[in-house]
Amino acid sequence: MHYVFQFGVVQDNWRILAEGALATLWMSVAALALGLLIAMACTYAMGSRVRALRAVVRGYIEVIRNTPLLVQLFIVYFSLPALGIRLDADEAAVLGLALNFGGYATEILRSGIEAVPHGQVEAATALGLGRMRIFRHVVLFPAIRVSYPGLAAQFILILLGSSVVSAISAEELTSTVNSLQSTTFRSFEFYFAATLIYLGMAAAARLLLDTVYWAGFTRGRPGLGGGRA
């Protein structure tokens, strides 16, 4: 083997790699926030009495769960302009990731809602609470507590899956690494560094999510202990 490893080139470009990693984190968090809004709206719509609305949400979920993320990104970035909706690469990346996350998160939240004891809903109804207030104050928090581990795992998948947005020229870690290795011809060094960075981001995100779960759902609630994100 005649390849000579030169990891010094990685050290020379650490600022550029750090900027790419921060862009990945920003994109993933933005997709998480938007995706959760989409998921909560879709979960609420799944309980609607309007059959057509439920059918639209089910169709959306099936499309998201049975098509590749890359194809979904291509539709957002390349197909929406035909309808007059033009987004730059970063905006399309966030929207595509959010739609993907929202489709999976809807099913996760729905499972959490089904785990809420029906007696609580009946008691709230007997107290005269409206459907929206019941959803917000009686159903949503317990459902999120049950769904949290699945949502946290899905966020990690989105964080790592964000690498595919480089295919539409969005600026994040993978696209940064692609640019660096194409100009320095040090593919092994930069992709190895990217692997370590993704590992670090995933581990840090997991630790943060576990801490949030403990602080929000477990601390001071002995009957709710034992779960991890």
Q: What is the pLDDT along the chain (229 residues), one digit of tens a residue?
A: 677 888 999 999 999 999 999 999 999 999 999 999 999 899 889 888 899 999 999 999 999 999 999 999 999 999 999 999 999 999 999 999 999 999 999 999 988 888 877 777 778 778 777 777 777 777 777 888 889 999 999 999 999 999 999 999 999 999 999 999 999 999 999 999 999 999 999 999 999 999 999 888 776 555 544 444 4
pLDDT at 229: 45
pLDDT at 28: 97
76 within some domain: yes
Tokens of 81: 């302009």
Whose tokens are 């989409």? That residue is 38
pLDDT at 226: 45
CA distances from 79 to 72, 86, 103 (A): 10, 9, 20
Instruction: Tell me how many domains the chain contains.
Output: 1
Tokens of 11: 């050290």
Question: What pTM, to 2 d.p., does this model score?
Answer: 0.87
59 within some domain: yes
Residues 6+ apart with CB under 8 A from 45: 53, 54, 56, 57
Closest CA to 77 of 92, 94, 62, 56: 92
The DSSP 8-state label assigned to residue 128 in this structure reads T
2 within some domain: no
226 within some domain: no
37 within some domain: yes
227 within some domain: no
What CATH number does residue 202 fall under? 1.10.3720.10
Half-sphere exposure of 142 (CA within 13 A, CB side): 14
pLDDT at 220: 55
pLDDT at 222: 52
211 within some domain: yes
Could you tell me the residue range of the domain that residue 60 belongs to?
Answer: 8-219
pLDDT at 227: 45
How far, in Å, CA of 77 to CA of 61, rounded? 20
1 within some domain: no
